Every structure is written in C-alpha cells, then in structure tokens.
Chains A and B, each alone.
Chain A
Amino acid sequence: MRSPILAAAFILLAACAPPGQSNQSGAGATGPIKIANVNAQSGQLSSLGQWEHKGVKLAVDEANKAGGVNGRQIQLDLFDSQGDPTVGTNLARKIAGEGYVAMLGTAESAVTLAMAPILKDAKIPNITSGQSPKLAELKSPFLFLNAPTSVTFDETLAKYLVDEKGHKKIALISNNGAYGSGEHDAFLAALKTRNLTPPADEVVTPDQKDFNANLAKIREKDPEVLFIGAEEVQSGLIAKQARELGLKAVFAGGAPMGTDVYATTAGLKNAEGSIVSSPYLSNDASEAIKAFAAKYKAAYNEEARMHVAKAYDGASILIEALKQTNGEGGQKLADAIRGVKRAGLLGDYDYDANGVGIHTTKIGLVKDGKVVPEAAS
C-alpha cells in the first residue's frame, strides 16, 4: 500500500519541479529540448505574431541543422495566443506543466504581462518582444526583453524632435492599450523633462476606427509634430485621417511606424516623412543585417523586418544560453541568458537587472513606404 503512494508522490513532485530540474530537460537528458513559441497567429495582431514565429523558427532551424544544442535537437512548439491575455495565461500554465525549458514571445506586452507571474513561479525564462515599461518594472528574473522599452524609444525621439530639431508644439494621440499607454507615458515624461506641455493629448481606444473628433481637436492647436502611440494598423488609420482633415504636422512614433503595414494603411503619400524611433531601421543597415535579410528572403520569400529580426535575436540568445547550460532550464538558464553579450541585429545585447537587453534606438524617416536612417535621408 505504501509504495504506490510513494511512487505517486514522487511523480507528483517531479511534475511540479521546475523544468530545469526535471530529468527530461536537465543536463543529463538526451531527448529534444522543448521550447515554446507563443504569439498571435490569429486576431488583429497576427501579423506581428507570424513575423515573430518566422524569425524564431529561422534561428532554431539553423541551430538544429548545425547539430542542435550540444548534440540535442530543439523542439519548437508554436502556440496561438490570439493576442489575448486570457488565452496567454492558459498557455503559460500549459507550458509550465509540459516540460518546456523556455518560452519565446509574445510580441504583445499585455499578453506577456499576463503570462509573466506564472512563468516566474515555474522558473521558465521568457524572452519577449513586448516593450511596455511595465515589463521591466516587474523585475522578474525570468523575463527578458529583446528590444528596448518605450522609455528608450521615446527618449531618443524626444531628443531628436526637441533638442535637435527645436520643435515645441508636439501633440499626442495614443491608445490606452498596453503598448499605447506605455508609449504615451514614456513620451509625455520625455517632453516634461524638457519643460514642454503638449498642446493636445488625445487618448483613443485600441478598437477605435474613426478619429475625426480627436484629430479635429488636435488640428485646432496646429501642432508642428503629431506623436502617434499605437500599433501598426491604428497608426496608419490615424495618419490617413489626419491628412484627410488637412493636418500638416509631421508624424512621429515608435517602431510600428517603420513597418509597411503602417505605410500602406496610411497611404504612401500620407506616411511620407514620418519620423520613426527604432533599433532596426532597414535591411541594408549593416553587412550582418543584409546577410540576415537575404537568408530570411530565401527561407520565406518575403522581406525581413524588425519583428523578424527581434525574434531571431531573442531565439539566438536563448540557444547560446542553452549551450552554456547544456540544455538545462530554470534559474541556471535565466542566469546564462543574462550573461550573454551579443552583437545582434537590433544592437548590442547586454541585459540589465530589469531584463532589458538593448538600451538605444536610432531615428529613421519614412521614404516611399520604407524607413531610411535619418542621416542618409
């Protein structure tokens, strides 16, 4: 009677242990290393999720072809978060219970924020593409950002707009989603440190489609610059409706405004001259980026972009860390990730105590629907 109980207790304890401590994924294991890739594959933000997955898959396929992690193959499993935090939390529990050593994704801050506590408890390192300052504020030792937070994006932007170009009348329009509110707060703080108050500060909802009322109020203030804090599609719709209303202000914002989704939604003419703060401006920025873009084009027959590069960097860092831990997860893997210093596609990775890997962005301008570095424009 006693031994079945002991056996059951042992199985239960093994199931509850962090993945890094389990026999299957530990240093002595020989099977494939299970990595979860969570991203929106359906829903409004699926374009980001699909780019992210392709970037991750490219890095993992390369690593597997080159012999995997010290001889062990990486098993990459894709989960659809639908861009929904509730779906995300369910997936986090699933990942925690099924022996995954790490998670890559998601592209959405709101989903990452919802998943982070569960992954922290399970000691599963997560390298995310979210950039909300709230992610860094969590100070989770298991959460890593593969791009700067909005604070860096917007400080660079404010420095360029105010300190270099001398703009004083900068209006804001942002949404109150996790990304948009992060952008709003970070840019407003950057303006405040320069003693500037925006003449208009309009907040919209992430699902809003008609911005006539908000933009008409902004137009009355005749700003020189309109800061847009929203995702790709909504930024494009705002830019399009703003120009239709006759707003002459220059558009400025973060990485979403450097995408073709923004440019085509706004219309190339309307997007022309938009100012973008981003760590990844173009596929021609360096020899390493050119080689990466060519590799991506050969694999997927489409142009590489920031979200692809971001995910590729994150996956490459994880693979490097896994090689150091010999496939082991848990605290050991988190420490190894923190120790990785990598000259990535988005910049030089050097994780700080808050899990932020990159600390600078560059300024680019939209020309014919593509971003060019500001200096080259």
Chain B
Amino acid sequence: MQVFLQTLIGGVTFGAVYALVAMGFSIVYRTMGLVNFAHGSVVMIGAYAASTFYLASKLPFAVAIVVAIAVTGLIGLVIERFLRPLENKDFTLMLIGTIGFGAVLEAGAVLVWGATGHAVPSPVATEPIDLAGVRIPTYNVLVIAVAAAATGLLALFLQRTKRGAAMQAVAMDHQAATAVGIHVGRSNAMAFAIGAGLAALAGSLVGPMLYVNPTMGGTLGIKGFAAAMLGGFGSMPGAIVGGLAFGLLDSFAAGNFQEYSELVTFLVFAAVVMIRPTGIFGEATVNRA
C-alpha cells in the first residue's frame, strides 16, 4: 500500500507539471489550430529564466517565476508575430516555423547559459510530510497547489472575462469572430503569450525537481504533448486530465515494468488514442488551413 501511495505522489506531482505543459499546447491549438513545436523549448527557457533570477539575482522564488513568465510571454508574442503573415495561408510553414523557433531557443540557451546546465536547490527547506510512512515532499505539495491555482485562474480568465470570451469565440469560428469585431491577430498573440507563460510556470516549478539544461525541454515537451493528445487536443479539462493521467501512467509503469516503462507508457497511450483518436475529452479538431 505504501509503495502504491508513494507512486501516486510522484505521479501526481509530475502529472501536474505535464498538465501545465499540455495546457500551453492546447490553448494555442484551440485558438489557432496550430501545434506549437517550440513549446518544449519555451519550458526550458522558463526553467532557465526562473532559476537564474532565483539563484543569481537572489529574487524570491515566486518573484523569479513571475519574471520568467513575463520573459517567455514576450517570446510567445515574438513567435506569434513572426508566424502571423502565414496565418490562413501556409499551415505547414507555420508548423516548420515553430520547430525552427524551438531550435533557435535551444541554441540561444547554450549561448547565454552554456551547455552544461545547473542544479536548482529547493526553495522550500522544510522536511517532507510523513503520513503513515508515505512521504510527501513539501515542494511537491507546492507544485501541485500552484498548478491547480494556475488552472483555476486560466479557467476564470477564459470563462469570465471579455478577452477570454473573445479567445473562445476565435477558437470556435474565427471568421464570425472577425465579423463581430474581434481582432483575431491580437487573440492569437494572447494565446501564444498565455501558452508561453504556462510553459514558463511548468519549467520554473520543475527546475528544483530536475537539473536545468538546454535539452530538458525535449522530454517535458514530448510528455506534455502526449498528455494533451491523451486528454483531447485543444480541450483545457482534457489537458489537465491528460497531464495527470500521463504522470500516473509514467510513474506506475516505472514501478512495475522497470526498464520497459517508457515502452509500456507509450503503448498504453497509443492504445487509448487508437480507441479514442480525439482523446478522453475529444473535441472536434480545429484546422485553420
């Protein structure tokens, strides 16, 4: 039982991070119908930015995260601005453009921070919580709480604000949205900025749990992408459920299938997607091209 619960803790923590990454993928996809392949690299830039402001500039961790979100939000805006001329014209070029941006961001990180990476000490120094032998690191609790709060805020923004409603409208029918006076370009830019901000949040939170280096976005990006697919690409609740499901699947596979864990994780993922191609919360796919 202890092993089961301990596995659950690890799965939920990493699942919360995957969910944040998946939400970033989904918000861009539902608004523009575009998979942002630079998203994993933005996660990495977020991790670097937060850890640098936290370690070198000695900012409190929470402030460092906010600064990192601002930095990556800006990067999101730049990516969208570069892709905007291709909107509704060449979807494939847009996709390649995001891949290119990912490579540029990785190379940029090597130039700025070097290739070796750095470890980030945990900002929470307290001992893990012990619940009848099941140990929950306090930092893991913080990660889950912050991810849940960010999810709640995003839901409020999308459902209760005018700008959020406008983004939803663009996602549903961008031509009709344009007709009623919604600026589609601005809405897309906001989607990119929010997506990048979520990536930065995921990267910042995962930094003290991992080792920050230029290639860390690869694994997190792939798992976040798979989580978004599992939940239903473009669906925000799907991204959350997909992220948690993927985290748990990963964690339990590691415990039960040892060196074959990754194989098992992706086999289960492939089976779910084959049975339900649109994911758990499958919505009609968006395609602007």
Contacts and interface: CB of A to CB of B under 8 A. Distances in A.
B255 interface: yes
Interface in B119-166: 119, 121-122, 128, 130, 135, 137
A90 interface: no
A211 B259 contact: no
Interface in B190-211: 209-211
Interface stretch (B57-65, B77-85, B213-221, B275-283): B213-221
A212 B214 CA distance: 25
B259 A176 contact: yes
Interface residues of A, number: 38
A215 B7 CA distance: 9
A213 B255 contact: yes
B117 interface: yes
Given A244-B135, A246-B130, A46 B10 contact: no
Interface stretch (B34-42, B170-178, B225-233, B246-254): B246-254
B262 interface: yes
Contacts of B128: 244-246
Interface size class of B (residues with CB under 8 A): 35 or more
A233 B209 CA distance: 11
Interface string B243-285: 0000100111011101101100000000000000000000000
Nearest to B258: A203
Nearest to B122: A267
B210 A205 contact: no
Contacts of B14: 209-210
B92 interface: no
B9 interface: yes
Interface stretch (A16-24, A36-44, A101-109, A149-157): A36-44
Interface in A221-246: 233, 236-237, 241, 244-246
The interface residues of chain B, by DSSP majority, are classed as helix
Given A246-B128, A265-B211, A207 B262 contact: yes
Contacts of A246: 128, 130, 135
A49 B128 CA distance: 36
B11 interface: yes
Contact of B118 (A176, A202, A207, A264): A264
B2 A203 contact: no
B10 A213 contact: yes
Given A42-B215, A207-B262, A214 B255 contact: yes
A212 B219 contact: no
A278 to B, nearest CB: 20
B122 to A, nearest CB: 7
B119 A44 contact: no
B130 A212 contact: no
A209 B256 CA distance: 16
Nearest to B117: A47
A250 to B, nearest CB: 19
Contacts of A233: 117, 211, 213
Given A207-B219, A214-B258, A245-B6, 9 more contacts: A204-B261, A209-B219, A214-B254, A216-B255, A217-B3, A220-B2, A236-B119, A245-B135, A261-B211
16 contacts: A41-B115, A42-B110, A43-B115, A47-B115, A50-B116, A205-B254, A210-B247, A210-B250, A212-B9, A212-B11, A213-B3, A213-B251, A213-B256, A216-B6, A217-B255, A261-B211
